[in-house]
């Protein structure tokens, strides 16, 4: 996630995503559509260069990344502001 300089107006500290690739989900897995409501940052589509397997767990990875309803969760909380910019709030899991 990164703004494309010259293509997207930027705000200090914000992130920008390709349309349709990212969303914020609540604790029940529902998409949050209201601005400024914190939830879980997830990727909703695959992209070129994405890993396809992990050594020792290729079956799980194929299921996770290539099923029709997969979502990739990085462990970050985030919200989308009223202008559509993403803001990371921090880790939501114990590291």
- Residue 50 sits in a domain whose CATH number is 2.30.38.10
- CB under 8 Å to 85, separation ≥6 — which residues? 11, 14, 15, 16
pLDDT digits (tens, 9 = 90+) for 13-61: 888 776 767 788 888 888 899 999 999 988 877 766 666 666 666 555 5
Dihedral of CA 3/45/31/74: which sign? negative
Instruction: Please report the pLDDT score of residue 16 as a whole number.
Output: 78
In a domain, 67, yes or no: yes
pLDDT digits (tens, 9 = 90+) for 52-90: 666 666 555 555 555 556 677 778 899 999 988 899 999
0.95 surpassed by pTM? no
In a domain, 71, yes or no: yes
Instruction: Please report the pLDDT score of residue 64 as a whole number.
Output: 53
In a domain, 86, yes or no: yes
In a domain, 9, yes or no: no
- Residue 14 near residue 55 (C-beta atoms within 8 A): no
- Residue 43 near residue 22 (C-beta atoms within 8 A): yes
Instruction: Please report the pLDDT score of residue 17 as a whole number.
Output: 75
Q: Which residues constitute the domain of residue 33?
A: 22-91
Instruction: Please report the pLDDT score of residue 38 as a whole number.
Output: 94
Q: Which long-range contacts (CB under 8 A, 24 or more apart) does 47-51 make?
A: 47/18, 47/21
Domain count of the fold of the chain: 1
């Amino acid at each position: 996630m990164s703004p494309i300089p010259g293509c997207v107006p930027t705000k200090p500290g914000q992130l920008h995503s390709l349309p349709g690739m990212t969303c914020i989900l609540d604790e029940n897995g529902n998409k949050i559509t209201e601005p400024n409501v914190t939830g879980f940052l997830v990727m909703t589509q695959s992209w070129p260069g994405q890993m396809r397997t992990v050594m020792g767990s290729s079956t799980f990875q194929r299921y996770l990344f290539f099923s029709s309803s997969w979502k990739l969760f990085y462990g970050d909380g985030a919200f989308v502001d009223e202008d559509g910019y993403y803001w990371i709030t921090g880790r939501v899991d114990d590291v």
